[in-house]
Structure 1
């Protein structure tokens, strides 16, 4: 069942324990959750219902049990800490799909089962991957941005193992909402050049687009980093609003229009000429 994603370098197999879910969630609930995770690209949602853990395989209920040896079942129960009455969900796919699907399901289960704690619960999210593989373009993409420093200070180590390298990026999360984020920045030229190379940016392109930065790093820059907070998101949580639009002084519409100033307005020909912009009307289809 899980062999393909487990063997793939870009795959992941993960389990999510729903305490008391075996007693409180019906098969219809499971079907609804299966539909829910499909939004995030999951092709299905395997599960194991724990009726009587002490009975081993005979105390479990799931259509996937026939594919799992006893040692694997024992390992799953041990790692999840499942007890009688619990429900274990599984994700097995590309790592990004599993992370997105089970992450969203975790929040939904927490609310549905009344497991979410009250009060303010801030936390730091750290140890982000430095890159993610872009299968379509056959190259690495920066998960944060190209100027985030990797956890290693050795450029050769980064080039040898980019997929397993962590970054020095961090997010501040409050009650499940990101309210701030930042990173330590690259401050050495050779490391910045190595990152550009992994992103498919060759020396000539790097010099053309980022030569000013590479020159500055060559002359020397101290280690530096920062953090940017989203005040509107913090106010949203403090007021109990459901959207930051409710706490922004002059929110834009979904089409980026401003109800207060009626922007964007119509640009005159002279304004367009100053910006070297020419509008071309669509060709009229021939009869």
Structure 2
């Protein structure tokens, strides 16, 4: 139970803005009593990924460039440009960008308890969690909402809440229209790969030994490498790198830990090695990334 609780992402407690060349994210754009939106953002990181987690709210993602993979519980979904993906409350999930392609992802976290006509409709969406964005309407609504919030326009709260409800209804129409369902069916993961992924997420660190991981599930290293890439879509080493990047960004953004402590917890050999790794895959040093998240508070 403690392990499951540790995966939970709590809802934001205070207003936060992250804005740089690769990311815009705003948490609690409005007072939580007046708005249904917990966070809203767009991400351009080519190496984007999230750690495994769950939360008490809904989350909607839209891929505008490249492609992405999401694991929800024990099922893998592949999302292409122009497609939506929905996660529901309490579902354990994570996502990562496809390899070596420009990537752009819009996303929003929201609650529905006070929208009584829409709340049950979102639970009607079943195992098929991917749908096409007909005529790019969802994308246009995401962009309009972000523009309103960035510009701090007059009466932006009622405008954004109105756009948000249009987003919800448009999303439901896309998901519940059989003609807009994604062609590719979801893929269940086998138990061995699920166990390896659970190990990697239980303790995120840089220095995993693939040989030891393979021994822990009683297969050869080459077999693990082949099965992992077939199941997840990227090599094991690249997947570990995604986890480390996401964990590092989260620690830099939401804690006051020293960079040397973060490097040590991720089991890099030195802070220098960690800083080179971080800049190579984000384009920023850890210090600059932290400053970019604090300067917008």
Q: Which TM class, normalised by the smaller chain length?
A: under 0.3
**TM-score computed with the length of structure 2 as normaliser:** 0.21
**TM-score computed with the length of structure 1 as normaliser:** 0.21
Say which structure, 1 or 2, has more relative contact order (CA 8 Å, 6+ apart).
2
